[in-house]
A = this chain, B = another copy of it.
Amino acid sequence: MQIIITGGAGFLGARLARTLLAQGSLSLAGAAARPIERITLVDRAAPPADLTADARIKAITGDLNDQLSAQADATPWREADAIFHLAAAVSGECEADFDLGMRSNFAATHALLERVRALNTRPVLVFASSLAVFGDSPEQPLPKVIEDHTLPTPQTSYGIQKFIGEQLVADFTRKGFVRGRSVRLMTVSVRPGKPNGAASGFFSGMIREPLAGLRAACPVPDETPVAVASPARTIEGIIRAAEASDAQWGPRTALNLPSLPTTVGEMAAALERVAGKAATALLDRTPDPAIMRIVKTWPGRIETARAKALGLAADDSFEAVIREYVRENPDAVKLPGVA
């Protein structure tokens, strides 16, 4: 089996690759599991060294739109049994640079679908959409609880572009050009590594940086609701989307992945339980209106009946999520007394 991961050098893409390599095989759309022979990581950046050390990993470094052009080598796309389309410009970037978002999220997703359609290979395609398709606004308040059939009313360009991607995936799937599944990722926390341009970045930074002994911005009020999922739960959902049979998957509407409903204040309290007052003392509570404007439109509470029926579950508690991060990233934890 050959697999492509776009955005494969990013945090989620690399973690997905590691998980797939570790399991060694994959079931696609209800079929029997087959050994994974190759995972091609398409990304602007080079993948981490642990991945390139694996003989099954191939890296294509460059702009995704370029890689999907008629001039580029079609071989990896032609040979792919499954494509995980994770490459995207993030929310904050897209709000600041409209054209960047349209190119990276809208045009690239369309080009990817047209590429595989032209090859007539009907791969399984998992499209990483986002809870950012849901947006609250004074003119159109979100319902208190988001359900599987709630109408998305995105309030960011990123959300609109992801929602359009879902529609394209649905119709290319209905037409039989691809076997597409769209999953809406929740706010992933705790992300290791460096901050990115996502408006949601601080949801990881406010945990990761204090654990590293560094100051961190916490730019929104304590009561700000957030629907979080750990990296492990997120990867679980992405893989399950590829594995589920058509009957298990159900409608072509994008699937909300499970999330833990919490608040910024509860996250800070969990951090204090894990790492003490020394950790929360490192949080800078200076409000950032630009981030607040985006984040406050996102829903905090999402009922995910479809995901549950697929056997997917949310994290137990945010404290458990932090402890998982500490376990997985010992070198990134520098604050004294955190085990």
Contacts and interface: CB of A to CB of B under 8 A. Distances in A.
A160 B164 CA distance: 9
B153 A253 contact: yes
Contacts of A154: 167, 170-171
Given A139-B251, A140-B252, 10 more contacts: A139-B252, A140-B250, A154-B167, A155-B174, A160-B170, A160-B171, A164-B164, A164-B167, A164-B168, A167-B167
11 contacts: A139-B252, A140-B252, A140-B253, A150-B151, A151-B152, A153-B251, A153-B253, A157-B171, A157-B174, A157-B175, A167-B167
A218 B313 CA distance: 50
A192 to B, nearest CB: 32
A152 B174 CA distance: 15
Interface in A219-263: 250-253
A167 B155 CA distance: 11
In the A-B complex, list the 4 residue pairs whose CB atoms are closest, starting with the nearest.
Answer: A140-B251, A160-B171, A139-B251, A151-B151
Contacts of A170: 154, 160
A281 B163 CA distance: 48
Interface of A: 98, 137, 139-140, 149-155, 157, 160, 163-164, 167-168, 170-171, 174-175, 250-253
A150 B251 CA distance: 16
A307 to B, nearest CB: 15
B98 A175 contact: yes
Nearest to A170: B160
Report the copy number of this chain in the oligomer: 2
Nearest to A107: B110
A168 B153 CA distance: 12
B153 A163 contact: no
A160 B250 CA distance: 18
A250 B98 contact: no
Nearest to A159: B171
A221 B247 CA distance: 29
Nearest to A150: B151
A227 B134 CA distance: 29
Find the residue from A151, A171, A174, A251 having the highest chain B CB count within 10 A: A171
A164 B150 CA distance: 17
A302 B219 CA distance: 43
A138 to B, nearest CB: 9
A167 B137 CA distance: 15
A157 B167 CA distance: 10
A167 B160 contact: yes
Contacts of A149: 151
Nearest to A249: B139
A141 to B, nearest CB: 9
A175 B160 CA distance: 12
A229 to B, nearest CB: 22
In this complex, which of A160, A163, A175 has the most chain B Cβ atoms within 10 angstroms of its Cβ?
A: A160
A256 to B, nearest CB: 12
Contacts of A163: 167
Listed residue (A157, A164, A170) with the most chain B CB atoms within 10 angstroms of its CB: A164
A175 B98 CA distance: 9
